Amino acid sequence: MAMRVIRARAASPLLAWLVSSALIMTGCAHSLQVKNLDLYKPESFSSQTRDIKLGIIGSTTKPEEERFLTATVNALKRDGFKVTYPFLLSDDTRGTVDYIVKVSTSSEYKGSGWNFLINWPGFLIWTPAWHGYDYRAIYGFDVDITDTQTNTTLPRMSVPVDLDIRHADMNRTWTEGLGWVLYSAIAFVGGILFVRYDNSVTPLLVNATDSRIADYVESKIAARVDSASPHVAASASTTSTTSASATGTTTSANADASGIATSAASTAAVLSTGPIAPLTTVSPLPTGTPTGADIRKLPAVTTPATLDIITPHATTILPISSSSEPIAAKQTAAESQ
């Protein structure tokens, strides 16, 4: 009987370690979840003109901030802006862009006091698995836009992003498994430590949200630039009008010059044929030929059978008949009379 008791006592620690190891290996995890990501949807805007040139100057302190800024630049290029990044400001480069956009970024990560309760006594109902630990990621984007043509700076625009995160991984939930074996002491201590932010969440968060946040920030910058860029569209319109006016003036001048050249060529062609011959003198009409006054006194004829034509260089009146008799025969008959 004593031997059985000794064996049972020796097996108890071993069983405890086996159970705890199984719980740790099969421990719980909660995949990354951003509860309020839908709040940061890109805003729609109506662009007045495209081909606006932007020089982007970035001010970042962390790798994830640089990644957000790069994604924002790519979004601006996608929407048709001509972007230079990074832009090196100098007297020579200032005139190469329409606007200088300086983006200063910041980032802050926070844990939550609720994580203590999630870990202890929450381990009793596996709270880290179905709820996850609470974290916050706060990003700031301060945008200063300068118009290079007027040398004026628009009021600073701040674009805050505050993400509500849920996540749990094995690097923390192992205390949950041991809490069952060691009378919850480890889970209690872990709860105290886990109120802080878990830095291993940051890479996962950036991978999951960089495109959405970049599109959101880019839409804010694009809307501000579009609302402040009427002079760009006006400049393009003035250039187009001036070009059209110059084209019309040139066309008109060319037409006038062409007309003058044609008139001069015609005059030269006429003069080159020699002196103009005088007009041939018209012989007087024979006696008895009706004049204009006598013709007006004649009775009106509705449908004349013949029509007399008086030629200016002949004294003979040639009657024209509708019959098929040759004109030469009629002329011979008239001469014989």
- pTM (predicted TM-score): 0.62
CA–CA separation, 157 vs 73, rounded Å? 17
**What DSSP line would sit under 196-226, residue for residue?**
S--TTHHHHHHHHHHHHHHHHHHHHHHHHHH
CA distances from 42 to 75, 91, 210 (A): 11, 34, 13
- CATH code of 15-229, in short, is 3.30.160.150
Q: Is the pLDDT of residue 8 over 70?
A: no
As beta bridge partners, residue 317 has 310
- Indicate the domain borders of the chain: 15-229
Average pLDDT score over the chain: 74
pLDDT in tens, 285-298: 455 555 555 544 44
Is the pLDDT confidence value at 229 over 80? no
pLDDT reported for residue 228: 82
pLDDT tens per residue across span 110-155: 999 999 999 888 888 889 989 999 999 999 999 999 999 999 999 9
pLDDT bracket for residue 314 (50, 70, 90): very low
pLDDT in tens, 19-71: 555 555 445 789 999 999 999 999 887 655 568 999 999 999 999 999 999 99
For the residues 233-243, what does the mean pLDDT come to?
A: 44
Asked whether residue 300 carries a pLDDT value surpassing 70, the answer given is: no
